[in-house]
Amino acid sequence: MKCLGIDIGSRTIKLTIMKNGKPIYMHKSLNTYDPINEVKKHLNDVEYDVMLATGYGRSLAQREFNAETVTEIKAFAVGARHLFPECRTILDIGGQDTKAISLNDAGKVVKFEMNDRCAAGTGRFLEVMAKILGYEIDEFGNAALKGDDNIQISSMCTVFAETEVISLLARGEKRENIARALHRAIAKRSSAMLKRVGVIEPVVFAGGVAQNPCMIEFLEEMLDISLVVPEDPQIVGALGAAILAGEK
């Protein structure tokens, strides 16, 4: 049986197909203003028997394709445990939200924290800041690694932080130093969220922001642990959804 899991996120759509407990297909693409047609395009290219959706667009998929749904929290828990069977804690920083999830021995979610209405300190925040500083998103983390620790950014609101960044630039501050300060601010916020659910190793870092080397370095430093980062941290939710599709 081919089980399809789809994670319709705010910034990207991720798709995984599992057969006999192994992923046989994975795909990622940017989301658009028209998520449902974007999803349809992908579904036309593949064959599957059952489907389960997660992410912000999950209820759209339920209406449109009669898909079963679970929240990202459950999907990431299942996906992370599949990749790392010992995993006890998950940090997922995606396009518009951050989640800290604590699992028990058996892999069941026992506690989670999630940012509320605003996208402060998420992937989207990094994208906006990278753009102001003239970086591509995939070079942003490496640039921040080269910066100095001479300044601090206090705002986590995208709008306020933009103001803060622009005034730092106007003061003649180097952009890599600003980049570093921004990364530190997000790492601080995310590690505080992780501490609220309790940090038990191994800790899996997932979501698009887990591709950022500076974030990994700061988080490891602040939490004083080594993070486990999947080969493709963005696909964890879709993988979990595909596994759950097979169980339903």
Please choose, out of 103-111, 173-181, 212-220, 233-241, the segment that lies near another protein by the rule CB under 8 A. Answer: 103-111
| Whole-number Å distance between alpha carbons of 61 and 36 | 7
70 binds another protein (CB under 8 A): yes
105 binds another protein (CB under 8 A): no
Which CB sits closer to another protein, 95 or 141?
Answer: 95
* CA 241 to the chain's CA centroid: 15
Please choose, out of 107-115, 130-138, 144-152, 161-169, the segment that lies near another protein by the rule CB under 8 A. Answer: 107-115
Smallest gap, in angstroms, from Cβ of residue 113 to another protein?
Answer: 9
Smallest gap, in angstroms, from Cβ of residue 62 to another protein?
Answer: 12
Answer yes or no: are the C-beta atoms of 178 and 168 closer than 8 Å: yes
Answer yes or no: are the C-beta atoms of 175 and 166 closer than 8 Å: no
Please choose, out of 15-23, 109-117, 163-171, 220-228, the segment that lies near another protein by the rule CB under 8 A. Answer: 109-117
Q: Which of 7, 68, 72, 127 binds another protein (CB under 8 A)?
A: 72
Smallest gap, in angstroms, from Cβ of residue 47 to another protein?
Answer: 29
| Whole-number Å distance between alpha carbons of 80 and 239 | 9
Residues that bind another protein (CB under 8 A): 56, 59, 70-74, 97, 108-112, 114, 116-117
